[in-house]
Amino acid sequence: MLHFEEQVSLAPYNTFGLAEKARYFVRIQEESQLEELVCHDLFKEQAVLWLGGGSNMLLTGPFDGLVVKLEFSGRELKVLSEDEALVWAAGGENWHDFVQWTIKQDLGGLENMSLIPGNVGTAPIQNIGAYGVELKDHFENLRAFDLEERTWREFDREACQFGYRQSIFKAQAKGRYVVTGVNFRLSRKNHTLRTDYGAIQAQLEKMGADLSIQSVSEAVIAIRQSKLPDPAEIGNSGSFFKNPIVSNEDHQRLVKDYPEMVAYPAGEEHMKLAAGWLIERAGWKGYRDGDAGVHAKQALVLVNYGGARGSEIKALSEAIQASVYSTFAVALEAEVNVI
């Protein structure tokens, strides 16, 4: 049975800590409740906002509609062979907690994505990634509910059309499906460890730890904690912008003027630029206007120091985009969903 509430503060449900209200609010914990919801008059008559971990959105005002909080839970492990296992996680599971659980099972593949905020169900929508590893690299399939056809569907990797921070669920199928569970194919032994991206190798040497999925995860966590603020202390949504991808020609043009520019190969014909470096070089690192600001340790992170409105953070993000384009002729795209 569904329980609808009215005028509910969304402050506890978004990592920016923005105290906007939802006109209507309902929690979904079972797949059968999802089927019930789509037949309800409130769902048919109101604008709908689907809410997972609340880590990838910026609320710019009250939501005059129905907010659906997805709270599916559960994990399962299925051994496929000596070398591999399938691991299923429900869409409402916290991503970092799930990653740590796989490591405790000695399953390799997700360790580089430790401490990424959000839930499992939203992870494939954005094809999350960090330190040289993307979700698609270990993705098997997912289960989703089609809101138009009111039927269940399974998506394999090809059907998801993954790209850099992109999938079919952010493109032509945006808003059509609700992801309720995801399967990952992980290694049981002879783990392939990625330590060649960012500062992982240097952090491992600093830690003096033996190389393992556990130590790589610990190194990633240490790096992220040294740069990224805890949302429980300072409201934020992690990386606000995507790292822009430019052609090799544009990259060569840029490094003539900025030889210290941080960039990584993105295929044979493109380079991925570090958005944080661009923002910092444009002079925004540590900037603050009232309670909206740019984090002092990581320019890629916009923060709410306590009393900022979402509209103020949005205005700041647009000013940064204009500044970076004016300086480098490179367009920054928001990674966060602005609502």
Q: What is the pLDDT of residue 53?
A: 87
pLDDT, tens digit, 9 for 90 and up, residues 153-188: 999 999 999 998 899 999 999 999 999 999 999 999
Residue range 39-53: mean pLDDT, rounded: 94
Q: What is the pLDDT of residue 210?
A: 87
E strands in the chain: 5-9, 21-28, 48-51, 57-58, 63-70, 75-79, 84-90, 129-130, 133-134, 139-146, 151-156, 177-187, 235-239, 245-247, 263-265, 270-273, 288-289, 292-294, 301-304, 337-338
CATH number of 235-338: 3.90.78.10
Q: What is the pLDDT of residue 163?
A: 92
Counting residues of the chain whose pLDDT is more than 70, the rounded percentage is 100
Q: What is the pLDDT of residue 209?
A: 84
Contact 99, 110 (CB under 8 A): yes
User: Catalytic: which of 165, 176, 253, 288?
Assistant: 165
Q: Quickly state the pLDDT bin for 77 (edges 50, 70, 90).
A: very high
Q: What is the pLDDT of residue 117?
A: 87
Q: Cα(201)–Cα(51) distance, rounded to whole angstroms?
A: 36
Residue range 78-83: mean pLDDT, rounded: 94
Q: What CATH architecture does domain 5-70 belong to?
A: 2-Layer Sandwich (3.30)
Residue ranges of the chain that CATH labels 3.30.465.10: 75-187
Q: Quickly state the pLDDT bin for 149 (edges 50, 70, 90).
A: very high
Q: What is the pLDDT of residue 165?
A: 87
User: Catalytic: which of 55, 167, 237, 239?
Assistant: 239
Q: What is the pLDDT of residue 238?
A: 87
Residue range 119-140: mean pLDDT, rounded: 95
pLDDT, tens digit, 9 for 90 and up, residues 227-278: 888 888 899 998 899 999 999 999 999 999 999 999 989 888 999 999 999 9
User: Catalytic: which of 20, 111, 134, 335?
Assistant: 335
Q: What is the pLDDT of residue 294?
A: 97
Residue range 136-159: mean pLDDT, rounded: 97
Residue range 133-149: mean pLDDT, rounded: 97
Residue range 133-156: mean pLDDT, rounded: 97
Residue ranges of the chain that CATH labels 3.90.78.10: 235-338
Which position has the higher pLDDT, 164 or 295?
295
Decide which of 3.20.20.70, 3.30.450.40, 3.30.465.10, 3.40.190.10 is the CATH code for 75-187. 3.30.465.10
* Average pLDDT over the chain, rounded to an integer: 94
Alpha helices in 127-273 (DSSP H): 157-160, 200-207, 213-227, 248-257
Active site annotation includes 215: no
Counting residues of the chain whose pLDDT is more than 90, the rounded percentage is 87
Q: What is the pTM of this model?
A: 0.84
Q: Give a three-class secondary structure readout of 8-27.
A: EECHHHCCCCCCCEEEEEEE
Candidates 89, 154, 159; CA nearest to 122 is: 89
Q: What is the pLDDT of residue 134?
A: 96
Active site annotation includes 82: no
Q: Is the pLDDT of residue 105 over 90?
A: yes
Q: What is the pLDDT of residue 92?
A: 96
Any idea what DSSP says for residue 122?
G
Q: Is the pLDDT of residue 198 over 80?
A: no
Active site annotation includes 239: yes
Q: Is the pLDDT of residue 206 over 80?
A: yes
- Min mean pLDDT across 32-41, 151-160, 223-232 is at 223-232
Candidates 102, 96, 91, 106; CA nearest to 130 is: 96
